[in-house]
Chains A and B, each alone.
Chain A
C-alpha cells in the first residue's frame, strides 16, 4: 500500500499538478470571498449615521416667528441655519445684481422658492473658514463675516472678501405658507 505513503500532492508534477486549479477550490475560494464581503458590509455600515441621528435629519420650522426684515439662526443637523425674512427693498437689490460680476454667479431666483421670494434660507457658515456672518452688515446689506471680512449680499452671494462660494443652500420645502421642512 505504497500509495498511502505518497508525498503530498503539491510536490508532484503530472496528475497531481492540476490540484491547485481544481474546480472545487475555486468555488470554495469564491464563496469565502463572498462571505467575507457579506460580513464586511455591516461592519462598515455601522459607521453610517444611526437611526436616532437620521430622525433629526429633518426639522420643521414655523416662519411666523420671523418678523419682516429680521432673521433667526436655528440649528439643523447640529449646524447653524439662517432664516431671513427679506423686505421688498432687499429683494429688489438682490435681483438687480443678478448679472453683476461675482465670484460665484447665481440669480436671486435660483436661491429662493417661487412665490416665496421673501424667504432666504441658507447655511450660516461662511464658505471661507466657517464663522457665522453678522446680519445686515457690509455694503450690500446682506451679511459681513467678522473673521476675515467676507461680504455677502441680500441673496447670500459672496461679493467681496476671501470666501470662494455663496452661502450654501440645503433642501427645504414649504409645507404651507408659514411652515417649512428643512432636510
Chain B
C-alpha cells in the first residue's frame, strides 16, 4: 500500500531541503501512511517494542559509561559503582534489567498476534522472516547481557550454553575454544560479550528499519485478515495510531514501573548476587524466564547434540511458518478449529516454560511417584517437557499444514467494514473501542 507521496512542502526551507534530501517528505509519508481503521490493541505492540528498544539502548549506553568489562572488575562495577555510587545508577540499571524482560513480554505478545491473525501469510512472508531475525538477535543480545554482571548465574549460564556448541562432532571443541578465547568461560569471553552486546542492538535497530519498510509495502494486516480495498478502509497513521500507540505505551509503562520500583527482585535470581566462582556450581542453573521454553526443549532430549538440534529446530519452526500454513483464510477469527489447536500450543509453550525452571527429576504433581519410563519417572518434569515439545513440533509440522486443507472456516467478511456495518443496532455508530 505504499502509494505516491502526499507531502507538499510549505515553506521555502522545506522546498530547498526536499530537492536535496527528502527527509521531511520521508517522515511526513510515514505519518500519513494509510493504516486500517479497525486495528485493535494487539496492534499496539509494535510501537511498544520500538519504545522498549529505545529504553534498552539509552540505558545501555549510560551503563556502559560506568561498567568495567574485566573478570576482576565487572561485578564490583555493577554492584558497587553503578548501584551505590553513580547518581541514579540504581535506577538506570534496574530499568535496563527489567526492560529486557518487558521487551520479551512485548515481543511474545507481538508474535502471538502475528500467528493468530495470519500476519505472516502472503504477501508478508519477508516481514515475518525479518521479525524472526530480530527475535534471534534479541535472544543473543539478552543472553550476552545477562553474562555481563558476572555473577554466579551469569558465569554458569554462559558456561552451560556455550558448552552446547561442543556437541557438534569434529569441530565442536574448536568452536568453543574460539568462542571462549580460552579453555573455559573467563575474562576474554566477558570482554567480547560486552563488545557484541553493545553492537547487536544497533543491528536490531537496522533490521527493525527493514521490518517497517517490509510492512509498508503491503501495508498492515488487520483483525479480519481481509485486504484493504479502498481509502475509506484506512486512516492516516498520525494522529490516529500515534496517539493510540502512545496510550498503549503509557499503560505498558505502568506495568514496567511496578516492576522497576516495587518488584525489582521478582525477575532476578538470588545466585546472581554472588560473584562468579568457577570452582562452585550453583545448585540450580536457570536462564531468564524468556528463554525457559527453549531450555526445556533442550533438556528434554537426553542426547546433547540432538538437544541442540531440537533447540535450533524449535526456533526454525517460526521461520518456516509461512510455508507450513496452508490456510486460505488469514485470521483465526474465522478459523475456530485452528484457534483451539493454537491455544493448546500456547499452553504447551507455557508448560515448557515452567518445566525449564524446574529440576529435570522434579515432580509435576507433587508427592506422586509413578513408574519409571526409560530414564525418568512418568510424573517428572522431563516427561512433561517431552510431551509438550512433541506437541510444539507437531503443531508446526503436522497440524498447521493439515488444518488449512481440512478445516471449514467461518465466512470471512468482504471488506474491513462489513463487521462494523453488521454491528447490532444497539451499538453506537461512532467509536467501537
Q: A residues bordering B, Cβ < 8 Å?
A: 1, 3-5, 7-8, 10, 32, 42-43, 45-48, 50-53
Stretch at the interface among B233-241, B311-319, B378-386: B233-241
Q: Which of A4, A7, A50 contacts B86 (CB 8 A)?
A: A50
Q: Which of A3, A43, A51 contacts B429 (CB 8 A)?
A: A3
Bound: A172/B87 CA distance, A: 26
Output the nearest chain B residue to A1 by Cβ-Cβ distance: B429
7 A-B pairs with the lowest CB-CB distances in the bound complex, closest first = A42-B88, A50-B85, A1-B429, A51-B85, A4-B429, A45-B87, A52-B85
| Residue B232 CB within 8 A of the other chain | yes
Bound: A72/B246 CA distance, A: 62
Bound: A3/B246 CA distance, A: 26
Output the nearest chain A residue to B420 by Cβ-Cβ distance: A4
User: B86 contacts A5, CB within 8 Å?
Assistant: no
User: B421 contacts A1, CB within 8 Å?
Assistant: yes
Chain A residues with CB under 8 A of B429: 1, 3-4
Output the nearest chain A residue to B58 by Cβ-Cβ distance: A43
Given contacts A50-B66, A52-B81, 9 further A-B contacts (CB under 8 A): A1-B421, A4-B420, A4-B429, A4-B430, A10-B239, A32-B246, A42-B91, A43-B58, A46-B86
Q: Which of A1, A3, A45 contacts B88 (CB 8 A)?
A: A45
Output the nearest chain B residue to A41 by Cβ-Cβ distance: B88
Q: How many A-B residue pairs have CB under 8 A?
A: 49
Bound: A8/B291 CA distance, A: 43
User: A43 contacts B417, CB within 8 Å?
Assistant: no
| Residue B279 CB within 8 A of the other chain | no
Output the nearest chain B residue to A52 by Cβ-Cβ distance: B85
Bound: A43/B95 CA distance, A: 12
User: B420 contacts A46, CB within 8 Å?
Assistant: no
Q: B residues bordering A, Cβ < 8 Å?
A: 58, 62, 65-66, 81, 84-89, 91-92, 232, 235-236, 239-240, 246, 417, 420-421, 429-430
User: B235 contacts A8, CB within 8 Å?
Assistant: yes
Report the minimum CB–CB distance from B147 to chain A (whole Å).
23
Report the minimum CB–CB distance from B245 to chain A (whole Å).
13
Chain B residues with CB under 8 A of A8: 235-236, 240
User: A5 contacts B239, CB within 8 Å?
Assistant: no
Chain B residues with CB under 8 A of A47: 65
Output the nearest chain A residue to B428 by Cβ-Cβ distance: A4
Chain B residues with CB under 8 A of A32: 246
Bound: A3/B421 CA distance, A: 11
User: B430 contacts A42, CB within 8 Å?
Assistant: no
Chain B residues with CB under 8 A of A46: 62, 65-66, 86-89, 92
User: A42 contacts B421, CB within 8 Å?
Assistant: no
Bound: A7/B85 CA distance, A: 56
Chain A residues with CB under 8 A of B239: 10
User: A3 contacts B232, CB within 8 Å?
Assistant: no
Chain B residues with CB under 8 A of A48: 87
User: A50 contacts B87, CB within 8 Å?
Assistant: yes
Q: Which of B62, B84, B421 contacts A43 (CB 8 A)?
A: B62
User: B232 contacts A5, CB within 8 Å?
Assistant: yes
Bound: A42/B92 CA distance, A: 8
Chain A residues with CB under 8 A of B420: 4
Contacts A/B (CB < 8 Å), 14 sampled: A1-B429, A3-B430, A4-B429, A4-B430, A32-B246, A43-B58, A45-B87, A46-B87, A46-B89, A47-B65, A48-B87, A50-B81, A51-B84, A53-B85
Chain A residues with CB under 8 A of B81: 50, 52
Chain A residues with CB under 8 A of B88: 42-43, 45-46
Bound: A45/B65 CA distance, A: 13
Report the minimum CB–CB distance from A14 to chain B (whole Å).
18
Report the minimum CB–CB distance from B233 to chain A (whole Å).
10
Report the minimum CB–CB distance from B280 to chain A (whole Å).
29
Chain B residues with CB under 8 A of A3: 429-430
Bound: A79/B80 CA distance, A: 25
Output the nearest chain A residue to B80 by Cβ-Cβ distance: A52
Report the minimum CB–CB distance from B426 to chain A (whole Å).
13
Bound: A3/B420 CA distance, A: 12
Report the minimum CB–CB distance from A56 to chain B (whole Å).
11
Chain A residues with CB under 8 A of B66: 46, 50
Report the minimum CB–CB distance from B162 to chain A (whole Å).
32
Bound: A1/B421 CA distance, A: 8
Chain B residues with CB under 8 A of A43: 58, 62, 88, 92
Output the nearest chain A residue to B247 by Cβ-Cβ distance: A28
Output the nearest chain A residue to B84 by Cβ-Cβ distance: A51
Output the nearest chain B residue to A47 by Cβ-Cβ distance: B65
